[in-house]
């Protein structure tokens, strides 16, 4: 039960951060690079060896990844002492995210990869969640494709 609670708390923090980068001007500018790159390369994004270093597409997109996911996950794991969360996140970010999150062929609802997440790139006021849509449902930001 503790693991489920920690997972949900961690994903809530990432959800809030993701919403904030859409409204804080300097972070919005950095985050927009990720949106621009994703839409420019729609359906063509794939895994690269750079992902092992948590480098994501462009320099600005990598800064965005570190601000919105990597650093918060490291801090959360350090504060809670539950490093399995960072291990889980690293496996996701280094090996799976690039092929799943922005892949229009994937529709595994209630997981938030593929088409579900790409809705966010078309309507940046919707679908902020990572891994599951719970927070989007609770805060009324979910939009099904």
Strand, coil or helix: 63: helix
Which range (23-27, 33-37, 74-78, 138-142) has the least confidence? Answer: 33-37
Determine how many CB atoms are found less than 10 A away from the CB of residue 58: 13
Nearest to 13 by CA among 76, 83, 88: 76
Residue 22 lies in a domain: yes
Residue 90 lies in a domain: yes
Residue 145 lies in a domain: no
Residue 144 lies in a domain: no
Number of folded domains in the chain? 1
Percent of the chain with pLDDT over 90: 61
Mind listing the pLDDT tens digit for each residue in 60-110?
999 999 999 999 999 999 999 999 999 999 999 999 888 888 888 899 989
What is the Cα–Cα distance from 46 to 50, expressed in whole angstroms?
11
What is the Cα–Cα distance from 41 to 25, expressed in whole angstroms?
24
Asked if residues 120 and 126 have their Cβ atoms less than 8 Å apart, the reply is yes
Nearest to 94 by CA among 70, 61, 60, 118: 70
Residue 12 lies in a domain: yes
pLDDT for position 47: 77
Residue 112 lies in a domain: yes
DSSP state of 133: S
Q: Is it the case that residue 145 has pLDDT exceeding 80?
A: no
Range of the domain at 19: 2-41+53-138
């Amino acid at each position: 039960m503790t693991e489920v609670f920690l997972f949900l708390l961690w994903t809530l923090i990432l959800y809030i951060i993701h919403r904030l980068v859409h409204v804080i001007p300097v972070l919005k500018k950095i985050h927009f690079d990720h949106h621009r790159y994703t839409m420019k390369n729609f359906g063509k994004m794939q895994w690269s060896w750079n992902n092992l270093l948590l480098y994501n597409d462009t320099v600005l997109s990598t800064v965005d990844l570190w601000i919105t996911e990597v650093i918060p996950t490291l801090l959360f794991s350090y504060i809670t002492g539950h490093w399995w969360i960072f291990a889980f996140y690293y496996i996701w970010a280094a090996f799976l995210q690039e092929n799943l999150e922005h892949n229009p062929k994937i529709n595994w609802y209630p997981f938030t990869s593929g088409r579900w997440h790409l809705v966010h790139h078309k309507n940046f006021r919707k679908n902020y969640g990572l891994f599951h849509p719970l927070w989007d449902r609770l805060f009324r930001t979910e939009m099904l494709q």
